[in-house]
């Protein structure tokens, strides 16, 4: 294979990842099945992932180490129990989507292992994807669009239709159907967008422009009026500062923690989203009971909303508002433990690299901690687009810090006043 052909083929996997990451900000991927082979349903996204994997193997050679993530055990367990639960309960679509997501995860791992410079490209596309979802949310508020989601004081209000309830605040939904889903998407991608802006090698003016987009992403988070989301964003800022080498950073970390604690007391005085409608606590109790009643393989991926509704018709959501409990109920305890393993390992790995001075690891650490905490009180990854973004972030975290033996790490830009890693 000539060098020019190898270059073109080698670019295909990164293009696929970028296209799928962009599609999480705006729904540009058609969901229709292109090819149906019995239980195998090939959509455009799955076809692109397959093309990306083939192109990666052709360009880099069939090396097993290229896809080594150190998460093979939890992923194998997760796929096994989901496959068995899917067969038992005949819930094919959700099971197929998980297999698609894991394939995408390994595509990202392979790309960033083979070409470490692709990390920067992925963070830039994360910024664009964030802009697609977040700027639409800001426009909804500025143009007084009735989104169907509001806050009346402390109380969340859902009212479909074109008329905004009087004396209420409109909650931004962006390109999603729910403000909390938008908040989850922002918490996942905004830290990477901030890294793309701050660590860019471009001139200052371009970095300021990119930083403006990242800042508007956090503004959109505020306009979702997700109290949990705002609280977690403050924690994320503290984590980002703590992992830098900026002098006098600890007073800034303390200030961030103080703001987070202050918002906690403010939210407590306002009550909790758990008091609205069905209620989170009741929801979680019912979910745990369902999980205990179905101890091995759960009730089948995607079925929790139906089962909860059958137990109590006042329940309207399609999930348990907790990623880990949701997987426990739908696919059994092994699935829940697999996700805890994945989050725990990736947070440990990115945390270690972040304290060593890796700027992209810093953004990934904030994203993983923030999204993981948010997923304790909601389940934005129940939406396919957010789940796709989550698995891309997983892949970036699992593979981004392993370079080829013949390649030295690229220089790491530092913040103004920051000491290089290893300095006293």
* Domain locations along the chain: 12-399
Closest CA to 183 of 393, 373, 22: 373
Percentage of the chain surpassing pLDDT 90? 67
| CA dist., res. 164 & res. 400, Å (int) | 45
**Quick one: tokens of 169?**
């605040």
Looking at residue 334, its pLDDT comes to 98
The residue with greater pLDDT, 40 or 51, is: 51
Per-residue confidence at 40, pLDDT binned at 50, 70, 90?
A: confident
The residues near 312 (Cβ < 8 Å, ≥ 6 apart) are: 278, 282, 286
370 pLDDT band (50/70/90 cuts)?
A: very high
Overall average pLDDT of the 149-175 stretch: 89
Q: How many helices (H) and strands (E) does the chain have?
A: 15, 5
pLDDT value at position 138? 98
Per-residue pLDDT at 393 exceeds 80: yes
For 237-324, strand residue ranges (E) read none
Report whether 186 contacts 166 (CB < 8 A). no
Distances (CA, A) of 297 to 29, 87, 99, 172: 31, 10, 17, 37
Q: What are phi and psi of 40, to 5 degrees?
A: -90, 120
pLDDT at residue number 194 = 93
What's the pLDDT tens digit per position in 247-276? 666 676 777 677 767 666 665 556 544 344
Beta strands 40-43 and 149-152, pairing class: unpaired
Cα radius of gyration rounded to whole Å, the chain = 22
Whether the pTM exceeds 0.85: the reply is: yes
How far is it, in rounded angstroms, from Cα 311 to Cα 286?
A: 8
Contacts of 249 (CB under 8 A, 6+ apart): 241, 242
Q: What phi, psi does 177 have (nearest 5°)?
A: -95, -5
Write the pLDDT tens digit of every residue in 199-247: 766 678 888 889 999 999 999 999 999 989 999 999 998 899 888 877 6
pLDDT above 70 as % of the chain: 88
pLDDT confidence band for 93 (50 / 70 / 90): very high
Contacts of 198 (CB under 8 A, 6+ apart): 207, 211, 359, 415
Give the other-Cβ count within 10 Å of 209's Cβ.
13
Query: Rounded distance, CA 17 to CA 22, Å?
Result: 9
Question: Rounded distance, CA 178 to CA 81, Å?
Answer: 30
Q: DSSP assignment of 380-395, as one string?
A: GGGSHHHHHHHHHHHH
User: Binning pLDDT at 50, 70 and 90, where does residue 422 land?
Assistant: very low
Cβ atoms of 64 and 283 closer than 8 Å: no
Separation CA 130–CA 119 (nearest Å): 17
* DSSP conformation letters of 272-330: -GGGSTT-HHHHHHHHHHHHHHSTTTTT-TT-HHHHHHHH-TT---SS-S-HHHHHHHH
DSSP for 339-360? HHHHHHHHHHHHHHHHHTT-HH
Q: Largest alpha-carbon pair distance within the chain?
A: 67
- Which among 156, 94, 369 is positioned nearest to 280, based on CA atoms? 156
Write down the pLDDT at residue 60: 92
Per-residue model confidence (pLDDT) at position 407: 38
The whole-angstrom distance between residue 399's C-alpha and the CA centroid of its chain comes to 16
315 has a pLDDT exceeding 90: no
Are the beta carbons of 331 and 297 closer than 8 angstroms?
yes
Distance CA 236, CA 256 (A): 9
Say if residue 160's pLDDT is above 90: no
Give the phi and the psi of residue 33 in degrees, each rounded to 5. -75, 130
């Amino acid at each position: 294979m000539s060098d020019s052909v190898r270059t073109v083929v080698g670019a295909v996997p990164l293009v696929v990842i970028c296209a799928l990451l962009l599609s999480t900000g705006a729904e540009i991927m058609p969901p229709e099945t292109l090819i149906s082979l019995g239980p195998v349903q090939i959509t455009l996204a799955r076809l692109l992932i397959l093309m990306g994997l083939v192109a990666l193997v052709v360009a880099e050679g069939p090396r097993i180490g290229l896809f080594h993530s150190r998460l093979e055990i939890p992923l194998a367990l997760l796929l096994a129990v989901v496959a068995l639960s899917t067969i038992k309960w005949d819930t094919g679509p959700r099971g197929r989507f998980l297999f698609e997501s894991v394939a995408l995860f390994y595509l990202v791992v392979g790309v960033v292992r083979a070409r470490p410079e692709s990390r920067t490209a992925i963070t830039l596309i994360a910024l664009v994807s964030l802009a697609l979802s977040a700027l639409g949310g800001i426009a909804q508020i500025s143009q007084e669009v009735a989104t169907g989601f509001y806050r009346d004081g402390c109380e969340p209000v859902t009212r479909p239709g074109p008329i905004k309830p009087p004396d209420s605040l409109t909650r931004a939904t962006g390109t999603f159907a729910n403000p909390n889903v938008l908040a989850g998407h922002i918490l996942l991608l905004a830290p990477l967008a901030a890294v793309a802006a701050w660590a860019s090698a471009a001139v200052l003016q371009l970095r300021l422009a990119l930083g403006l987009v990242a800042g508007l992403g956090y503004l959109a988070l505020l306009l979702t009026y997700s109290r949990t989301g705002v609280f977690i964003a403050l924690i994320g800022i503290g984590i980002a500062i703590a992992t830098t080498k900026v002098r006098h950073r600890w007073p800034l970390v303390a200030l961030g923690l103080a703001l987070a604690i202050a918002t906690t007391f403010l939210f407590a005085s306002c009550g909790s989203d758990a008091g609205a409608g069905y209620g989170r606590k009741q929801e979680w109790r019912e979910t745990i009971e369902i999980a205990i009643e179905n101890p091995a393989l759960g009730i089948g991926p995607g079925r929790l909303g139906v089962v909860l509704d059958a137990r109590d018709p006042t329940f309207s959501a399609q999930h348990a508002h907790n990623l880990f409990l949701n997987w426990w109920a739908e696919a059994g305890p092994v699935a829940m433990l697999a996700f805890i393993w994945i989050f725990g390992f990736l947070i440990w790995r990115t945390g270690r690299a972040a304290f060593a001075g890796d700027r992209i690891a810093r953004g990934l650490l904030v994203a993983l901690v923030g999204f993981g905490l948010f997923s304790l009180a909601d389940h934005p990854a129940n939406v396919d687009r957010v789940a796709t973004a989550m698995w891309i972030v997983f892949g970036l975290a699992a593979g981004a810090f392993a370079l080829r033996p013949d390649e030295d790490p690229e220089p790491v830009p530092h913040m103004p006043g920051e000491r290089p890693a290893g300095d006293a």
